[in-house]
Structure 1
Amino acid sequence: MKRISAALFSILFGTASFAQEPLSAIEWLNQTATATVSPPESVILNAPPVASAVTIPQVQVTTLDRQRADAVGLLPSHSTGLPVSLWSNSNAADLQRRFLNLSPEPLPAIQALYYTLLLAEADPPVDLTTDAEFLLTRLLALRQFGAVEPALALVEAAGLVPGNLFGHWFDLSLLTGQEDRPCAALERRPHLSSDLSARIFCSARTGDWEKAALIYDSAVALDAIDATDQTLLALFLDPDLIDTVPPPDIPKTISPLEFRLFEAMGTPLQTHNLPKSFAHADLRGTAGWKAELEAAERLARTGALPASQLFGLYTARKPAASGGIWDRVAAIQALDAALSQGDLPAVAKGLPVAWAAMRSRRLEVPFADVFGPRLMGLELPNEVTELAFRILLLSSSYGAAAKEQQSEERTRRYLADLARGQPKLDDAQSSLEEAIVRGFMATEPPSAQKTLLDNGRLGEAILGAAAQLDQPSESGRDDISGAIATLRAVGLEETARRAALQLLLLDIRR
């Protein structure tokens, strides 16, 4: 089997430039409403949001059967090296349990592997009983990581299929400011969603304020939307009510629509205490630079935002103050300037500062991927050569860094050999290093994973190995050895090497 490229996700959804222009603001939020509605008679705070349902529309598509909908992916088999039978022999419930219990912030190498698995084109489990069930499981996992754009692309690639997809399409589009298409589709085909709040919003969004008001008044009369949405929609449709109707309390669990409605009435919510997917709302060009930076840092930690976009934001303008995030911005800008000018003393001074800033936010690997190649071959002072070497080993240039390694110092020799995939037991100095060596010395996976592979349950075996590396048990050294052996046995050599290096070099308690 071919080796899977962990960079495919960033290739698909990353930006080529170091800096990115901000997205334009949502112009329709500034439009004046022309309809009037009656305010809700009473407000029940913290009521649960109305569920959305049914299908996703797509212009010029045909209905797909369940098998094809669940097989939808963004990464074809010839790109991933994974067979289309990746999932077909596994139990759907087992896969759902694994996907919905992934670590919220995995090792970066494992995170990249998860994205490859979640986005791969592959036949779903044969025992599925619900339409688009496997696709929905993958969408939920992507949303938990904050990977909104690939999740949105998956939904749109699925086309018009049975199942609860419209709600995902609508939610994801709201978070990225791309709600025009789902709203236009819902206006053409109201049966796509039973969520009256979405119907009201989309009618107004497409300019039919009178229709939106009519649906709203009917829904309130029938008590068909919860009290929080009643108030938010009333204030959205008739801004004159703001002087007489107080806004509702923020719900404990907020939907993307409620988030946007708070924003529309002039009280935007902070996203730092909301699920990761909401952080994308701060990248639409409607938030300040500080909010953009904080959102980008949060998303970059799970690979939901390309490193190039994060560091483009860091270098977009001069820091507005000092302390906190502004110190990180200043550190990155100082190092970037030193490297651009070839000022090696300034690089030596700035590298430890920038590295400490990135470690404080668990952004070591995105930093290494951007700055590692720029450090390659520099004649740096002795006091930072070890740090530069470790940064290079965390980057995608780890192989080239290992080739340049000539020191006979035991730790550096072990790390260089590991980057080549040939660590030596004699150089191991800890139980973790020994476990990693055993994984690379193994000639076959452990029995549990071998059984899965023998039964054609390849994807399940990979998921199991990834979880063992990222969440080892109390006796986790054996788990780590077995996981590395499994990944190498199925052709995931690069993932095995990078994950092992990250286990050793990142500030993680293992």
Structure 2
Amino acid sequence: MRISLALVLSCLPLAAPAEEAPLSAIDWLNRPTTLPVTRVVPRGAVPGESPVADSATIPAVSVTPLGEPTVDAVGLLPGSVTGLPRSLWRDSRAEVLGNLLQARRVTRLPAMQSLLYTLLLAEADAPGDSGPGAPFLQARIDALMDLGAVEPAQALLERAGATTPALFTRWFDATLLTGDEDKACRALRDSPHLSPGYDARIFCTARGGDWTAAALTLDTARALGFISDLEDRMLAQFLDPELFEGEPLPMPPVRPSPLLFRLYEAVGEPLPTNTLPRAFAMADLRSTVGWKAELVAAERLARTGALPVNRLLGIYSERLPAASGGIWDRVEAIQRFDTAMRAGDPGAVARALPGAWRAMRAARLEVPFAELYGAELMRLPLTGEAAVLAYDVALLGPAYENAAITRGPAIAARAFATGVARGTVPAPGNDPLRAAVARAFDEATPPDDIAELVAAGRLGEAILTAMALFEHGNTGDTVALEQALSAFRALGLEDTARRAALQLLRLGMRG
């Protein structure tokens, strides 16, 4: 299953605060009676049997708007896109799901990345123990941010409504990295009780143009000890840079908050993002950043599927390389290859393909490259080594099965991979990896623990457990690999199983 993140998503307004319980249309029904209740024993009743009620006190009634999903159920992708049922999470516990999401390590596993995005963005009923704090939505947002998928995280929060401090904090952080902080600041001025802290309130007040009020709030927060010394200094310099002219800035923390990151940038000392969590790379895609930093950030995000491949190509194509060596050689190789592809010249493509493929392998971007060019390469009349390499690329792209049907029979050296792509695996020989893949495709039988989860209606939990098995199998445990692939196929995730197997076969174990 492959879900593209290049979607145009409508951003819904923040949800309104919860209303009070509605009054009855007949107001005396809201007042408990203090009159004694006459106990009438109905005809045929058993003597001594407990009556139906001891009083006429109106019981408490919980009110839920009809048709309005809980926040934990919000998603960006409907079931018609994901193919997953609405009951995906319903019978699981939010804490268990959160722990499984937190443990996922898919940065070098493109097929697992795609599946994880599908799960994180799916519209589905909330876990049974979901509460007003939306713990499962928080866990999904944290997983997206860990992958660097800041824009989907922001869109998900805007659709859900960041109406609790925990959700608003995550939304505020995301907007600081995408450059949409004014949107969050307007919401904060309307609902100050959502503030993550005084630092956010001061920053947003200043962004709104009220620098005097921001300075007074900073003085108050300082006097009450509500901000750290570092936040105090950075906010003070942000509000009045002339006061600190010529003074060195304090050393930034190893893991700054997005707000501190933006404050350092605002006072003229932007922090490099290559040593920060991946989500910070999103800030380097803004037009205020140099091209090399943008290129490095784009590749970093593309490795986890957080950047659409067409956007990656657009960044590669912005201008001619400014130098040689390193990333500049990669840009040149991609530009040369893309020019040959657009010209439709088989000879130029055959000459440029090996260099472009080596460049993508060095950057660990083989799968994004295959998504861009795999299907197009199959339409060119390539021969010899270029034809084999083009087929290898196509097997890593979304049109792998069509490539296997049309070109696979002519490339005997890739017979096993062709069989995987078509779902009919030939004899594996003595290779342990191929043998594990062959057994998985011979019989789709999930391990007992995953079968039990499915029987209990905990499908999402079963999929995450199978992903954990595949991650372990990727380190060289062929038994775990076989079990994971079998589980995917048994769960109806045939595309995931085939793509995962092809990526292992063509790219090797990458733990």
Q: Say whether the fold is shared (TM-score over 0.5).
A: yes
Q: Does 1:479 align with 2:480?
A: yes
Alpha-carbon distance, 1:104 to partner: 4.8
| Greater mean alpha carbon deviation, residues 141-150 or residues 60-69 | 60-69
Alpha-carbon distance, 1:224 to partner: 1.3
The equivalent of 1:23 in structure 2 is none
- Between the aligned partners of 2:132 and 2:71, the Cα distance in structure 1 is 11
Q: Does 1:307 align with 2:303?
A: no
The equivalent of 1:7 in structure 2 is 3
| Greater mean alpha carbon deviation, residues 306-315 or residues 332-341 | 332-341
Alpha-carbon distance, 1:347 to partner: 1.6
The equivalent of 2:447 in structure 1 is 446
Counterpart pick for 1:78 among 77, 80, 104: 80
- AA matched with 2:489: R
User: Secondary structure at the residue paired with 1:456?
Assistant: coil
User: Secondary structure at the residue paired with 2:170?
Assistant: helix
| Greater mean alpha carbon deviation, residues 332-341 or residues 113-122 | 332-341
Deviations 1:237-274 (A, max 9, x none): 00112325431111122000001000000111111110
Q: Does 1:387 align with 2:392?
A: no
- Between the aligned partners of 1:170 and 1:406, the Cα distance in structure 2 is 50
5+ residue gaps in structure 1? 14-56
- Between the aligned partners of 1:156 and 1:117, the Cα distance in structure 2 is 18
Alpha-carbon distance, 1:361 to partner: 1.0
Alpha-carbon distance, 1:130 to partner: 6.2
User: Secondary structure at the residue paired with 2:486?
Assistant: helix
Deviations 1:463-507 (A, max 9, x none): 111221233287721222221121112221111111110011114
* 1:282 and 1:291 in contact (8 A); partners too: yes
User: Secondary structure at the residue paired with 2:88?
Assistant: coil
* 2:95 and 2:135 in contact (8 A); partners too: no
* 1:146 and 1:277 in contact (8 A); partners too: yes
- AA matched with 2:391: F
Change (3 A) 1:370 1:474: closer
Deviations 1:279-300 (A, max 9, x none): 0101111101111111000000
- Between the aligned partners of 1:315 and 1:298, the Cα distance in structure 2 is 17
Change (3 A) 1:81 1:104: closer
Q: Does 1:398 align with 2:394?
A: no
The equivalent of 2:188 in structure 1 is 186
1:320-469 correspondence to structure 2 within 5 Å: 320-407=322-409, 411-424=413-426, 426-469=427-470
- Between the aligned partners of 2:366 and 2:323, the Cα distance in structure 1 is 24
Alpha-carbon distance, 1:396 to partner: 1.0
Deviations 1:76-96 (A, max 9, x none): 122212111111212322211
Change (3 A) 1:91 1:115: same
User: Secondary structure at the residue paired with 2:129?
Assistant: coil
Deviations 1:398-453 (A, max 9, x none): 111101135466541211111011112x2445111111111111143221211111
- Between the aligned partners of 1:367 and 1:468, the Cα distance in structure 2 is 27
The equivalent of 1:201 in structure 2 is 203
5+ residue gaps in structure 2? 20-63
1:139-218 correspondence to structure 2 within 5 Å: 139-159=141-161, 161-162=163-164, 164-218=166-220
User: Secondary structure at the residue paired with 1:138?
Assistant: helix
The equivalent of 1:503 in structure 2 is 504
Alpha-carbon distance, 1:177 to partner: 0.3
| Greater mean alpha carbon deviation, residues 335-344 or residues 116-125 | 335-344
| Greater mean alpha carbon deviation, residues 469-478 or residues 200-209 | 469-478
- Between the aligned partners of 1:408 and 1:68, the Cα distance in structure 2 is 53
Deviations 1:351-409 (A, max 9, x none): 11111111111100000111112211322231222111100000111111101135466
- Between the aligned partners of 2:251 and 2:463, the Cα distance in structure 1 is 44
User: Secondary structure at the residue paired with 1:164?
Assistant: helix
Deviations 1:8-60 (A, max 9, x none): 434457xxxxxxxxxxxxxxxxxxxxxxxxxxxxxxxxxxxxxxxxxxx9456
| Greater mean alpha carbon deviation, residues 155-164 or residues 96-105 | 155-164
- Between the aligned partners of 2:405 and 2:236, the Cα distance in structure 1 is 65
Change (3 A) 1:331 1:160: closer
- AA matched with 1:267: E
| Greater mean alpha carbon deviation, residues 355-364 or residues 434-443 | 434-443
- Between the aligned partners of 1:299 and 1:509, the Cα distance in structure 2 is 18
- Between the aligned partners of 1:466 and 1:106, the Cα distance in structure 2 is 13
Deviations 1:191-210 (A, max 9, x none): 11150000000000011111
The equivalent of 2:318 in structure 1 is 316
Q: Which has the higher contact order (CA 8 A, sep 6+)?
A: 1
- Between the aligned partners of 1:407 and 1:246, the Cα distance in structure 2 is 67
User: Secondary structure at the residue paired with 2:70?
Assistant: helix
- Between the aligned partners of 1:184 and 1:145, the Cα distance in structure 2 is 27
* 1:9 and 1:116 in contact (8 A); partners too: no
* 2:108 and 2:510 in contact (8 A); partners too: no
Higher CA-based Rg: 2
TM-score, normalised to structure 1, is 0.86
- AA matched with 1:344: P
- Across the aligned residues of Structure 1 and Structure 2, the Cα RMSD in angstroms comes to 2.2
Counterpart pick for 2:245 among 243, 246, 251: 243
- Between the aligned partners of 2:454 and 2:219, the Cα distance in structure 1 is 58
Change (3 A) 1:147 1:204: same
* 1:58 and 1:160 in contact (8 A); partners too: no
The equivalent of 1:230 in structure 2 is 232
User: Secondary structure at the residue paired with 1:323?
Assistant: coil
| Greater mean alpha carbon deviation, residues 189-198 or residues 280-289 | 189-198
Alpha-carbon distance, 1:70 to partner: 0.8
* 1:421 and 1:497 in contact (8 A); partners too: yes
| Greater mean alpha carbon deviation, residues 78-87 or residues 156-165 | 156-165
Alpha-carbon distance, 1:324 to partner: 0.6
The equivalent of 2:60 in structure 1 is none
| Greater mean alpha carbon deviation, residues 264-273 or residues 467-476 | 467-476
